[in-house]
Structure 1
Amino acid sequence: MNKLAINGGRKLRAEPFPAYNTIGKEEEEAALRVLRSGKLSTYLGAWHADFHGGNEVQSLEKEWAEYFNVKHAISVNSATSGLYAAVGAIGLNPGDEVIVSAYTMSASATAILVYGGIPVFADIEEDYYCLDVNSIREKITAKTKAIMVVDIFGQPYDADAINALAEEYGLKVIEDTAQAPNAKYGERYAGTLGDIGVFSLNYHKHIHCGEGGIIVTNDDELAFKLKLIRNHAEAVLGGKGYNHKDELINMIGFNYRMNEIEASIAREQLKKLPMLFEERSRNVQYLDEKLSQLPAINGNRIRKNTTHAFYTHTLTFDSKLADGIHRDKFIKAVSAELPQTILRDDSPVLMGCGYVKPLYLLPLYQERIAFGKDGYPFNLSTNINYGKGLCPVTEDMHYNKLFAHEFMRPGMKKKDMDDVVNAFEKVWTHRHEIC
């Protein structure tokens, strides 16, 4: 009965875990309201009243700005689009450098490449996994234009230290807060800590409308540029008029527009954010306390004077305290004890080792090929390093220590979480049987 499932024993649990589904009748009615109106979008890519989108889009932006206590909220069709627009809005020139985490979703760095910029990867904090201010300082050159910080896993970045460094060198701060809605640094919300913040409304985030994103800023000029890039800037500025050619920088626009159905759903989802946030926090507290009792597991750490949004429950594994068993083998054995999750049937068990491969080790950066055969924009720089060992803390976390799971999502009951804990305890008890 106690034989490990990975060795042919019975799984500790066979019944699928409950779905994470925050969509209810409120969202259904909102979508139907739009369908019945016949106005699924009212955007025009011209200087016109409809340049700003329809009623649902504008209402969502107003409600988002009020909730997060920020001056401007600009909806887009994805957080990726939001990051692209943010990099364009700060006036990045080809060859400019932007310092970015190596341990983040790929779009945080490709947004820089889109405008001909050079991603410069800095290392992460060992405790919190966000960009390390000391590593950032080491990477600053005369070509540095901005810092792309990431509130990774739901943890707000070290805003006081990094913002002070940015001010010292005259750099913009773009905050990728896709994983940290409702988290706070002091009294301020994550996403509002830098010059521009970008939230995600992708289907596996805290709240969602399928796909979508929201950009926020307190800067009027940046807000207008963001709206232009979202909606065919080059076709709009002629009708609006411009005062100087500098206003045309990076104003080749895109179609990053959110439709009315998505906006109507996002409005209802925003109302649920506080409740979902609190449930995640309670569940993580419960699981963290239980799992940290195993000698080889270190629980989640939260920066002082912050609240964490817990996109995932992230922990570390110490192989030395597990009699030399590597993290990968241990977590693989735990995963074998657990079932899949409803609505994520095509995904493996929602637990894994590391996060994403350190970005600089991807073929794009190893081969330095992005646009065209000559390696633009990498060929604009002669002093970039994407070699293995560039970010030692990132690599150690990814390949040896860090693991994460999603079993703290709202909808998980205590008995569900107890099964997760029991799976860890079973594997720990029988760890010497792991092949």
Structure 2
Amino acid sequence: MSILAINGGKKVRTTLFPAYKIIDKEEKEIVSEVLESGILSKFLGCWDEDFYGGPQIRALEEEWASYFDVKHAIAVNSATSALYCAMGAAGVGPGDEVIVSPYTMSASATAPLVYNAIPIFADIEEDYYCISAESIKNRITDRTKAIIVVDIFGLPYDAERINAIAKEHNLIVIEDTAQAPFAKYQGKFAGTLGDIGIYSLNYHKHIHCGEGGIIVTDNDDLAERMRLIRNHAEAVVEGMGFHTLVNMVGFNYRMTEIEAAITRMQLKKLAPLVEERQRLVKYLNSKLQGIPCLELPNERIESEHVYYVHPIKYKQEVAGISRSTFINAVKAELMPTELRESEGVLISEGYVKPLYLQPLYQKLTAYGDKGCPFNCNYYNKPIVYKEGLCPVAEKMHYHELFTHELIRPPMTYKDLDDVANAFIKVWENRRELHE
């Protein structure tokens, strides 16, 4: 019987895990070309030939649209900005409701607030953690304008059922694919399953340019609205002859030429990076499947998961010890990852606290000190964000789910053996933790 590291025994691993570094000579070369050109951005916030940006932006948008087989791709400075563009283009405004997930990055739920609409939280699926079609049906009212679905952890949402609900109620579906580029559902890429799709390019995503986002759609009108919102719409609509002014107060959500150039090179690496990640997950699953207190991730029928993180359910009733006790013991057996040493071992209990429990929703305060938009005259409807609102999300976060990032290239099978052996060691010696 081995002594657990948390109790003073020897660690399973004593060296750092390798960093996820995917910037190489191709990115360096094209950045040098951009610097030599002297054009770091070419956007003009008025109706002009350069309203749509410079050569790298236009090339990236064309290449991204072709890669994902969509009509329009729009480069912006972040996926958060992309969500805000999508809300505006969808015509969301004061008094409207938008159905959102409680178990995602905060911007996926705050996007409606930017246009003074109200986020309505629907619960998540027990098996896949995406927003639940059944819960969505129960949240729709005559005020509902759109649904923001999230391809959480790398798995596409329940597109067939949710799209049918949206069509029945004439709702726009905005797909947050920040964590799932190259994932597929029924042969189609995630991000192309709804009316508008959004990808993220910040530093810990599958591919990145530092900060950035891409919006995709097949709808000409939505695409033009999002381009306007990206780049000072109010200053452009007159010269363009664009007559519908709803939500045409624009912003500066523009991506730079350097970021676009890096993304062009990164896009070429997306497929092999995803395929390697899937291979690593498959291997680790084979090593962990014999641990009775762990329930490994499910993949939706006709879907392809790309594993932004590796989500696992923990069964306390089987292990006889709490999730925290078990996970802390596993982490004690392992080491941090290069370049992220300060974060400790990259295993986390839960994911994010259900968003409706954040102060913003608990205090019902967003704009000014008068409670807008929650207490806005255009809404006039009581709203309560309280514990128990989304019981599955709460159960996953507080009791069952944990996630880890130790499945990213250039991890090797030997690295994954250490990860698996840490879990196995804790399982086999869990009585130490009882004592």
Question: By how many angstroms is 1:240 displaced?
Answer: 1.4
Per-residue displacement from partner, 1:172-211 (whole Å, max 9, x unpaired)? 0000000000000111100001110000001000000001
In 2, the alpha carbon distance for the partners of 1:346 and 1:260 equals 32
Between the aligned partners of 1:241 and 1:46, the Cα distance in structure 2 is: 12
Per the alignment, residue 150 of structure 1 pairs with 150
Matches within 5 A, 1:204-353: 204-243=204-243, 247-323=244-320, 325-353=321-349
Q: CA deviation at 1:330?
A: 0.6
TM-score (structure 1 length as normaliser): 0.98
1:396-411 correspondence to structure 2 within 5 Å: 396-411=395-410
Match of 1:374 in 2: 370
The separation in 2 between residues aligned to 1:71 and 1:332, in whole angstroms, is 48
Q: 1:11-410 counterparts in 2 under 5 A?
A: 11-243=11-243, 247-323=244-320, 325-380=321-376, 381=379, 382-410=381-409
Three-state SS of the structure 2 residue aligned to 1:203 is coil
> 2: CA distance between counterparts of 1:193 and 1:328?
37
Q: CA deviation at 1:293?
A: 1.1
Q: Measure the CA separation in 2 of the matches of 1:33 and 1:431.
A: 57
- Deviation of 1:157 after TM superposition, in Å, equals 0.3
Q: Distance in 1 between matches of 2:250 and 2:152?
A: 29
Q: CA deviation at 1:383?
A: 3.0
Q: Secondary structure at the match of 1:346?
A: helix
Q: C-alpha distance in 2, partners of 1:60/1:432? A: 55
Structure 2 length normalisation: TM-score? 0.98
Q: Separation in 2 of the partners of 1:242 and 1:274?
A: 39
Q: Which amino acid aligns with 1:186?
A: Q
Q: Which residue matches 1:428? A: 427
Deviations along 1:148-184, whole A, 9 cap, x unmatched? Answer: 0000000100001000000000100000000000000
Share of identical aligned residues, percent?
A: 61
Q: Distance in 2 between matches of 1:137 and 1:200?
A: 28
User: Aligned pairs, how many?
Assistant: 431
Determine helix, strand or coil for the equivalent of 1:379.
coil
> Is the CA contact 1:289–1:299 (under 8 Å) kept in the aligned structure 2?
no
Q: Provide the secondary structure at the position in 1 that maps to 2:399.
A: helix
User: What displacement does 1:295 show?
Assistant: 0.4
AA paired with 2:318? L
Superposed displacement of residue 275, structure 1: 0.2
Note if contact 1:120-1:384 (Cα within 8 Å) is conserved in structure 2: no
In structure 1, the residue corresponding to 2:342 is in which secondary structure?
coil
Q: Which runs of 5+ in 2 are unaligned?
A: none
Shift of the alpha carbon at 1:397?
0.4
SS at match of 1:248: coil
Write the deviation string for residues 379-421 of structure 1: whole angstroms up to 9, x where unpaired: 1342323110000000000001111111110100111000000
In the alignment, the residues of structure 2 paired with residue 67 and residue 366 of structure 1 have an alpha-carbon distance, to the nearest angstrom, of 42
Matches of 2:186 and 2:277 in 1, distance apart? 20
Q: What secondary structure sits across from 1:73 in the alignment?
A: strand
* SS at structure 2 position matched to 1:60: helix
The residue type equivalent to 2:203 in the other structure is Y
How far does the alpha carbon of each residue in 1:89-113 deviate from its partner, in whole angstroms, 9 at most, with x for none?
1001112000001000000011110
Q: Secondary structure at the match of 1:422?
A: helix
For the residues of structure 2 that align with 1:428 and 1:55, how far apart are their CA atoms?
55
Letter in 2 for 1:165: I
Q: Give the drift of 1:292.
A: 2.0
Secondary structure, in 3 states, of the residue corresponding to 1:182?
coil
Cα distance in 1, alignment partners of residues 32 and 11 from structure 2:
43
Q: How far apart are the structure 1 equivalents of 2:122 and 2:384? A: 11
SS at match of 1:316: strand
Structure 1, residues 52-78: CA drift from partner, whole Å, max 9, x if none?
A: 001001100000000000000000000
Structure 1 unmatched runs, 5+: none
Quote how far apart the aligned CAs of 1:2 are: 2.6
Deviation at 1:289, TM superposition (A): 1.9
- 1:329 to partner: Cα distance: 1.3
How far, CA to CA, are the matches of 1:262 and 1:128 in structure 2? 33
SS at 1:404 equivalent: strand
CA distance in 2, matches of 1:217, 1:60: 15
Code of the residue aligned with 1:367 in structure 2: it is K
For 1:131, what is the secondary structure of its paired residue?
coil
The alignment partner of 1:127 has SS state of coil
Letter aligned with residue 388 of structure 1? E
Give the deviation of 1:19 after TM superposition: 0.6
Question: 1:8, CA displacement in angstroms?
Answer: 2.5
**CA-to-partner distance for each residue in 1:337-380, whole Å, 9 max, x for gaps?**
11110111221211111000000000100111111111101113
Partners of 2:107 and 2:289 lie apart in 1 by: 33
